[in-house]
Chains A and B, each alone.
Chain A
């Protein structure tokens, strides 16, 4: 077995892989940013008085929860250009694959965030909002100054989990020919004539593992920092 497995390959591939983390981060960052905004809109739709909006938003979340990322990715990758051409006569051939990747994971992250935001906002006592409005704040001000800062702290751990899972789902972007860390790893393997795959994949696993641990720790610290004034039971 010794001659098939050479630990040297793990260390030598790391410096080749790490620069491509930038691409991964860019995709994840954009998806998280746009997805959070969209997710917030969905969360409000779920809490709105209109039954239609509630049903639509809940149906969207259910559908997203039930669709494997890889299926959604290909559906977007093949479906969006086909529909754009068929319905509007738009030619999307030259669009960078990164756009489809971001679009897919934005859709997915929005579904996750809508649940996180909804439960966080609903966890804040309704009296807080009423008190804010009763002292003369507009509903928008009440949300911005009173509800959001509190809901934000509640949402933090789940937001962190969502971030980690979107980072992991993002590993599938290579399937549509997008070159991020995983794509680069596959290129390295192809250059090695498909030998030493195991070592390269282990290097990849180490990168993701370390990233997940770091993100987890950052969110633990953030949670601690933000819940300083909190008087609830979950003291840190």
Chain B
């Protein structure tokens, strides 16, 4: 520790280092969400309609993801995927080293795996808030099932799902801070590496902390704004 409590120039410099990790964190968040939303929605539908085998598999999957810490899921998947790929590559004589895979790919798979399970529950509870009569009414006027869902059910369910979707997104952004475990250079790891040189860990973590705080507040405001827009229909006739 230096004589001064906080190394201010380092604090300011590292803030921008941490900030430069934001694109990676956001990329992982967005891609994971894009993969997770359809899977989560599909599994939520199978849960609601009690489709035999898939329903049970979805139940176990959700229970596993909710029952284990994300860091353990990262550990398991990060050691399982290369082992599996290695086996496949050897079998088909593909000349590709699994260790050259960009950690981004692992991040997409791991965080999508995690978020999809969270979203199953989010969508399930949101869809169950829509009255069954809505679907029946839509069908009775001649809409197909897909049309009824797209035009009638989803717009209503989405409004109820949004607050939980916001929580899931914020949690996902926070979870990307565990990217260090797969050597993904995002906000936390970038600032940490910068701090390694002079042991300025306090400053580095203050920076990381501020960056996540800003990111999270911006995302929450965006979701609030979106929710307001989506729920306009409720007040249209008021």
Chain A contact residues, CB within 8 Å of chain B: 1, 4-5, 62-63, 65-72, 74-75, 78-79, 82-83, 85-87, 164, 167-172, 182, 197-198, 201-202, 204-205, 208-213
Contact A205/B217 with A79-B205, A171-B69, A172-B71 known, Cβ cut-off 8 Å: no
B51 at the interface (CB under 8 A from A): no
B104 at the interface (CB under 8 A from A): no
Q: Which residues of B contact A168 (CB under 8 A)?
A: 68-70
In the bound complex, do residue A4 and residue B212 qualify as a contact, i.e. CB atoms below 8 Å apart? no
Q: Closest approach, in angstroms, between the C-beta of A40 and any C-beta of chain B? A: 23
Q: Which residues of A contact B201 (CB under 8 A)?
A: 74, 78
In the bound complex, do residue A75 and residue B216 qualify as a contact, i.e. CB atoms below 8 Å apart? no
Contact-size category for B: 35 or more
**Smallest CB-CB separation from A172: which chain B residue?**
B71
In the assembly, what is the distance between CA of A123 and CA of B202, in Å?
Answer: 41
In the bound complex, do residue B87 and residue A212 qualify as a contact, i.e. CB atoms below 8 Å apart? no
Q: Which residues of B contact A71 (CB under 8 A)?
A: 177, 188, 205, 208-209, 212
Q: Which residues of A contact B70 (CB under 8 A)?
A: 168
Chain B contact residues, CB within 8 Å of chain A: 1, 5, 63-64, 66-73, 75-76, 79-80, 83-84, 86-87, 170, 174-175, 177-178, 188, 201-202, 205-206, 208-209, 212-213, 215-217
In the assembly, what is the distance between CA of A171 and CA of B72, in Å?
Answer: 8
A sample of 11 more A-B contacts (CB under 8 A), given A1-B87, A66-B216, A205-B64, is: A63-B213, A75-B209, A79-B202, A82-B1, A168-B69, A172-B71, A198-B76, A201-B75, A205-B73, A212-B67, A213-B63
Contact A209/B64 with A171-B71, A204-B75 known, Cβ cut-off 8 Å: yes
In the bound complex, do residue A70 and residue B83 qualify as a contact, i.e. CB atoms below 8 Å apart? no
Q: Which residues of A contact B178 (CB under 8 A)?
A: 68, 70, 172
In the bound complex, do residue B68 and residue A169 qualify as a contact, i.e. CB atoms below 8 Å apart? no
In the bound complex, do residue A65 and residue B73 qualify as a contact, i.e. CB atoms below 8 Å apart? no
In the assembly, what is the distance between CA of A171 and CA of B47, in Å?
Answer: 30
Q: Which residues of A contact B213 (CB under 8 A)?
A: 63, 66-67
In the assembly, what is the distance between CA of A168 and CA of B70, in Å?
Answer: 8
Interface class of chain B by DSSP: helix
In the bound complex, do residue B188 and residue A70 qualify as a contact, i.e. CB atoms below 8 Å apart? yes
Interface class of chain A by DSSP: helix
In the bound complex, do residue A182 and residue B212 qualify as a contact, i.e. CB atoms below 8 Å apart? no
Contact A66/B63 with A1-B87, A71-B209, A198-B76 known, Cβ cut-off 8 Å: no
Q: Which of A72, A85, A211 contacts B1 (CB 8 A)?
A: A85
In the assembly, what is the distance between CA of A89 and CA of B80, in Å?
Answer: 48
Q: Closest approach, in angstroms, between the C-beta of A93 and any C-beta of chain B? A: 11
In the assembly, what is the distance between CA of A72 and CA of B206, in Å?
Answer: 9
Q: Which residues of A contact B5 (CB under 8 A)?
A: 82-83, 86-87
In the assembly, what is the distance between CA of A164 and CA of B66, in Å?
Answer: 9
In the bound complex, do residue B79 and residue A78 qualify as a contact, i.e. CB atoms below 8 Å apart? no
In the bound complex, do residue B1 and residue A182 qualify as a contact, i.e. CB atoms below 8 Å apart? no
In the bound complex, do residue A75 and residue B205 qualify as a contact, i.e. CB atoms below 8 Å apart? yes
Q: Closest approach, in angstroms, between the C-beta of A95 and any C-beta of chain B? A: 15
Q: Which residues of A contact B175 (CB under 8 A)?
A: 68
In the bound complex, do residue A1 and residue B212 qualify as a contact, i.e. CB atoms below 8 Å apart? no
Q: Which residues of B contact A209 (CB under 8 A)?
A: 63-64, 67-68
Q: Which residues of A contact B170 (CB under 8 A)?
A: 65-66
Q: Which of A172, A198, A205, A211 contacts B83 (CB 8 A)?
A: A198
In the assembly, what is the distance between CA of A1 and CA of B209, in Å?
Answer: 42
In the bound complex, do residue B177 and residue A70 qualify as a contact, i.e. CB atoms below 8 Å apart? yes
Q: Which residues of B contact A85 (CB under 8 A)?
A: 1
17 CB < 8 A contacts A-B: A1-B84, A4-B86, A5-B83, A67-B174, A71-B177, A74-B201, A78-B205, A82-B202, A170-B69, A198-B76, A198-B83, A201-B75, A201-B76, A205-B72, A208-B72, A210-B67, A212-B67
Interface centre among B73, B170, B205, B212 (most CB of A within 10 A): B205
In the assembly, what is the distance between CA of A72 and CA of B1, in Å?
Answer: 20
In the assembly, what is the distance between CA of A210 and CA of B68, in Å?
Answer: 9
Q: Closest approach, in angstroms, between the C-beta of B210 and any C-beta of chain A? A: 10
In the bound complex, do residue A208 and residue B212 qualify as a contact, i.e. CB atoms below 8 Å apart? no
